[in-house]
Amino acid sequence: MAKRRKVGNLMALAVLSALVQQPMHPYQMASVLREHGKDQNMKIKWGSLYTVVQNLEKHGLIEATESVRQGGRPERTVYGITDAGRAELTDWVRELLSTPEQEQSRFTAALSVLAVLSPAEAADLLAQRLDALDKRFAGRQAALAEAARDVPRLFLVEEEYELAVAEAEIGFVRGLLGELTSGTFPGLADWQTFSETGVVPPELAELMERGLHPQ
């Protein structure tokens, strides 16, 4: 599934959703997005913003409505969403919502090459991560609670989701770290000797040959 969108960048989604409210010029989009806390999850890349706006216009999803100049400032082109744009927006949301897609996280990548470090160092680094995760989580949770006082849930669900996932990551890291520090992680001794001497334990060597995930 996941048909190719004319404009695939997720920033395009944000732009379309901003323009549904009212027409605006690119820089204003950025401000609005920032106000709505979208920049928390998605850093605003200036290059992308203007490229995306161009592409959206090229594909008729938005259109330049007017071009204002105030003072000696560079001219600002105001864009509005078209019917095609509105259609694309809802269709896109429908797809994103209904069909999960496995995305590659950097932490997953790190875990998949965990064996290049020694167990002790891995534990140390995981402890650092856990610390950072805990702090960040507390902050975000507080901010969410604060916002929930006057913003309806509907506009906070994405943050709730992120926090749910963050909590799961914290749990996982805490668990793994616990196993490493308590020494209950299975195969810890083999990993230890391998990292010290570079010697691959015999039962592992055989696995290397035939591949880890045989069908």
Partner DNA sequence: ATGCGTATACTCGTGAGCGAGTAATCAAAT
Partner DNA sequence: ATTTGATTACTCGCTCACGAGTATACGCAT
Q: Are 69 and 75 in contact (CB under 8 A)?
A: yes
Q: Does 111 bind a second copy (CB under 8 A)?
A: yes
Task: Name the residue nearer to a second copy (CB basis): 65 or 128.
Answer: 128
State how far the Cα of 15 lies from the Cα of 53, in Å rounded to an integer.
8
Residues 18-57 that bind a second copy (CB under 8 A): 20-21, 32, 35-38, 40-42
Q: Are 7 and 56 in contact (CB under 8 A)?
A: yes
* Strand 76-81 with 62-68, pairing: antiparallel
Among 7, 13, 30, 53, binds a second copy (CB under 8 A): 13
* Shortest CB 63 distance to DNA, Å: 15
State how far the Cα of 27 lies from the Cα of 47, in Å rounded to an integer.
12
Task: Name the residue nearer to DNA (CB basis): 5 or 86.
Answer: 5
Q: Does 51 bind DNA (CB under 7 A)?
A: yes
Residues 138-197 that bind a second copy (CB under 8 A): 147, 150-155, 157-158, 160-162, 164-165, 167-169, 171-172, 176, 185-187, 190-191
State how far the Cα of 59 lies from the Cα of 82, in Å rounded to an integer.
10
Token duo for residue 153 = 């849930």
Task: Name the residue nearer to a second copy (CB basis): 69 or 213.
Answer: 213
